[in-house]
Structure 1
Amino acid sequence: MGGPNLEVFKFAIYVFFPVAMMLHYGDPDWYRKHVLTYKDRIFPPDERLVTTLPTDQSALKAELSKIRERNAERRAKEREEYSS
Structure 2
Amino acid sequence: MTQNPNAEPVRTLTPRPAPYGTATPSARLAHDLAARLRTGLSAAGFEVDRDFPHLRGDTTASDEPFLTLGRLRPNVVERLLALLF
Normalized against structure 2, the TM-score is what?
A: 0.37
Larger radius of gyration: 1
Report the structure, 1 or 2, having the larger helix content: 1
Normalized against structure 1, the TM-score is what?
A: 0.37
RCO higher in structure (CA 8 A, sep ≥6): 2
Report the structure, 1 or 2, having the larger strand content: 2
